[in-house]
Structure formats: structure tokens, C-alpha cells
Amino acid sequence: MRVMWKGAVSFGLVTIPIHLYAATESKNVSLRQVHEADGGRIQYKRVCTVDGEEVPYADIAKGYELSDGGMVVLTDKELSELPISTSRSIDVQEFVPLEAIDPIYFDKTYYLEPQKAATKPYVLLRDALHKSGQVAITKVAIRQRESLAVLRVVSDVMVLTTMLWPDEVREVDFPFLREDPPEVRSQEMSMASSLIDSLSDSVFEPDKYRDSYREALLDLIQSKIEGKETAHPPEAEAEPEATDLMSALQASVTAAKEARESDAADGGGKSGAGGRRSRSSGSSTNESTASNGSTGATSTSRKSTGTTSGGRKSKATSSDGASSSAKASAGKGSGGSASGGKSSGGKSSSGKSSGRKGSSTKESDGAGSGGEKGTGSAGAESGKRKTRNGGSSRSTRKSA
């Protein structure tokens, strides 16, 4: 970068010598005026309207035109002798929050670099300004024009942004502002808020935007350099006109959501595929576990010992691996565990159970589903099971 101005920041009795650099640059494609027939450049001559003679640049001065057409001539020497106190300094006037300044006043931005031996006061002012959370309002004269300016900190560098004077900001006086405002329905306001929410983001990322016109212009120039036929961009399809404001808002919200979902799908494709693989793997594991559990239920049997009401022990083996222990008491239903972990009310749909491995015993689910309580009153059925030498058990029913 090239130094465009040298001066100092005046902060109370502290003076900080600095170099000023332009913080921005135009990326517009520079095009010259030429003769279309042969490409010859168009030149302009500085001609005096009084005598018709061409005027050398050294003889050109500045003039202020009066309302009657008269001209007040001002030379460079006269302009340079004007008393501008801020000609080589940036004078701090006050400190205010950045939010208190309307961006409409901002003009051009410059970087400030400390000169030699001025690094310490520069860093001191920079850190103090950053810690305060405020910005400095200053006055500066650049290129024979005095301006207000905002001094703030950006990425460990002090930045100066010149501002317009209040009378340089135009007042608005549109006719519709003097008319009665149209009535806005609550549904329309809600839909507009939804559109804003769908297009909102927490941070501004300028890198995701691009200058489409400049890119197309450079492509056109490059095609002509290479002697290729210039390609015409496709015409944009005409969007159907919305019948009313609500329809337009609804269509806008839908389009915004689809665009967001498309961007999210493009950015998360890899992670989404990994998630699908993981879920698929988990499903296979669960199916395998279930299959193994089913196999084990038919091939393995566990024995459990239940204590009866008389102190005797009864052993019963169920085919699915769950133990069935029954309590035998007068007037009370059996509390034994049926196959599958459900408590049986004493009823057996098959009437017989086998203790041998591989045999299948089915017991009624209705008995243990909560339709009957494990402890019955008079009139409830009582089941007694007796096991003899590990053989078959016989189920009897008695009425109280």
C-alpha cells in the first residue's frame, strides 16, 4: 500500500505521528471510450470557452460560479493559505458508542500506521479505545477538505472513517409520507416476520457473495481476446405474478426455506452419509442381538426355585429360558413367572408343561396381562403345580 497522507493523532496532550493508507480499493473493470469502428481512443481537450484556445494544465485554476453566471477565480496558492487547524492532525473531539452513529454518515475508510518511535502511544490509545467499547469522533483535513471522522479499532489496527456533515445528508420528503399509511393485516406482518427469520443469520460473511456482473464482463473480455464466440447468458425466467401480498410473502418464505435446505444439504452431505452408515450398522447389530436372543431362548433353559406357602420348594423349567415359580396357597392365585417374563395368574392354555430342553410351553398372556390380580379373593382360581423327578408337570384347577 502507498502512503497517501502523513500527520498525527492528537489525544489530549499526547501526539501520535501516523501514516494514512486507503483501506479500500475499487475493483471495477476499467473501460475507456473508443471509436466503435476502429477502436481508436477518444480524447478530450481542455479548451477555453472564451477564446477557444487549448489551455495547458499548469494554467488551470479553480472557480466558483455565481448565480448570474459570473466566475470567482481561486488559485492554488490562495487555497493553500486558508487557515485549517487540522491540516496535518486528527483531533479527537469526543467519544461515543458506535451504535449512536447512523451509517448514512460514513464516507471513506483509512488505515492508520504508527510512524517510528510512535508505536507505544499508538498501542496505548488503541487498547484504551478497544477497552472502552466506544469510538472517537475526530476532525481531519484531507486533500483540502475538512471532515468529521470516526476513529475505531479493527483487527488490532486503528481505522479512520470520514463522515459527511449533517447538511450533506439529504432530507426525505416523499409524497407517501404525508399520506395516511395503508392498513397492514396481522397475517401479513406475521408472514413478513417469517420471511425475515428464514433469511436471518447470526454473522455477516461477505466472502459468500460475489460480483456476478464483473465476472461476466471479464469472461466476455477473455473470450474476445481468445477469438471465441461470445456466449450470451440465459434469460431469466419470468416469475409468475402473485395475486396478492400474502401470496407473494408465502412464496418468498417457501423459496427461502428451500434455498437454506439446499445449502445445508450441500454442506452436510458427508456427515449425513456417515450418519446413515452408523444408523444402518446399529440396526444390523440390534437385529443380530434379537436373533441371538431368540435362539438362546429355545436352546437354553434356566431353572428357578420358588418357595410355596407351606415352605416346600417347587422347581419348574420353561422352554424360553424364563423360570416359572409358583406359590401354592389356599384361596390365592399363583404368582409364578410365565415364559417371556410375564406373571401368570395360574391359568395355562396348554394345560401341560414340559421340563425337557427344546420343548415349547405356551401360557395364556391374558392371565398375566393385568386382567386378574396375582392375589385373588374367594371365587378366584388357584393353580397347583407339582414337579416329580424333573418330569412333566400337571396343572389342576380348583374353585375356592
Number of structural domains (the chain) is 2
Q: Does 135 map to a domain? A: yes
> What are the distances in angstroms from CA 40 to CA 3, 30, 130, 287?
35, 16, 54, 80
> What are the distances in angstroms from CA 192 to CA 184, 199, 244, 248?
11, 11, 13, 10
Unique residue bearing C-alpha cell 476532525: 139
pLDDT of res. 51:
93
Last residue of a domain, one of 131, 166, 201: 166
In 267-361 the beta strands, taken as DSSP E runs, fall at 303-307, 313-317, 352-353
Q: Does 143 map to a domain? A: yes
Last residue of a domain, one of 144, 166, 188: 166
C-alpha 365/C-alpha 344 separation (Å) is 8
Q: Does 17 map to a domain? A: yes
Q: Kindly report, residue by residue over 70-117, the tens digit of the pLDDT.
A: 999 998 888 888 877 667 899 999 999 999 999 999 999 999 999 988
Bridge-based pairing of strands 62-65 and 14-22 is unpaired
pLDDT of res. 168:
96
Intervals of the chain under pLDDT 70: 85-86, 229-243, 267-400
- DSSP three-state, residue 268: coil
Last residue of a domain, one of 120, 150, 166: 166
Q: Does 129 map to a domain? A: yes
User: Residue 120: which domain range?
Assistant: 1-24+71-166
Contacts 24+ apart (CB under 8 A), 365-371: 367/338, 368/338, 368/342, 368/343, 368/344, 369/342, 371/345
Unique residue bearing C-alpha cell 431469466: 236
pLDDT of res. 133:
94
**CA Rg value for the chain:** 45
- The identity of residue 47, as a single letter, is V
Query: Residue 278 CA to chain centroid, in angstroms?
Result: 26
Q: Does 190 map to a domain? A: no
Q: Does 159 map to a domain? A: yes
Q: Does 322 map to a domain? A: yes
pTM for this predicted structure? 0.57
CB-CB neighbours of 360 under 10 Å: 12
Q: CATH no. for residue 3? A: 2.40.290.10
Q: Does 211 map to a domain? A: no
Q: Kindly report, residue by residue over 356-384, the tens digit of the pLDDT.
A: 433 333 333 433 433 334 344 334 344 44
